[in-house]
Amino acid sequence: MIPSMRRLDIPLPLDVYQRLRKEARAARQPATVVARHAIEAWLRQRRRAAVHKAISAYANVMAGTGADLDPALEAASLEHLAEEERRAQRRRRNRSR
């Protein structure tokens, strides 16, 4: 075992255990690796959610204040998003021809 690794015993319901083993076989990986990847993905998702919540809270508090988005930057971003949407529409039209 890698020195920085720690063991954790996680009792699993039988159906979860069986699904984990099935996915591990399909991925040709040990079940511990599949479980570790799943836990790491869940932790990343939780971290992203926490960061999103903090940013949203900050934005709500700062909305309309001097710390709010610069009007020129906001206009430029809206222009960019509109252009991206026009490009996407052209690509969809070209694919349907």
Q: Is residue 5 in some structural domain?
A: no
Q: How confident is the model at residue 2 (pLDDT cuts 50, 70, 90)?
A: low
pLDDT at 3 over 80: no
Q: Is residue 35 in some structural domain?
A: yes
78 and 96 both lie in a single domain: yes
Greatest alpha-carbon span in the chain: 58
Contacts of residue 68, Cβ cutoff 8 Å, sequence gap at least 6 = 62
Q: Structure tokens of 2? A: 């890698």
* Separation in Å, CA 22 to CA 25, 26, 29, 97: 5, 6, 10, 43
Q: Which of 5, 72, 74 is nearest to 40 (CA)?
A: 5
76 and 50 both lie in a single domain: no
Q: What is the mean pLDDT of the chain?
A: 92
Q: How many CB atoms lie within 10 A of CB 35?
A: 19
50 and 76 both lie in a single domain: no
49 and 92 both lie in a single domain: no
Q: Which of 46, 24, 43 is nearest to 35 (CA)?
A: 24
Number of independent structural domains in the chain? 2
How do residues 4-45 score in pLDDT, each as one tens digit? 889 999 999 999 999 999 999 999 999 999 999 999 999 999
73 and 88 both lie in a single domain: yes
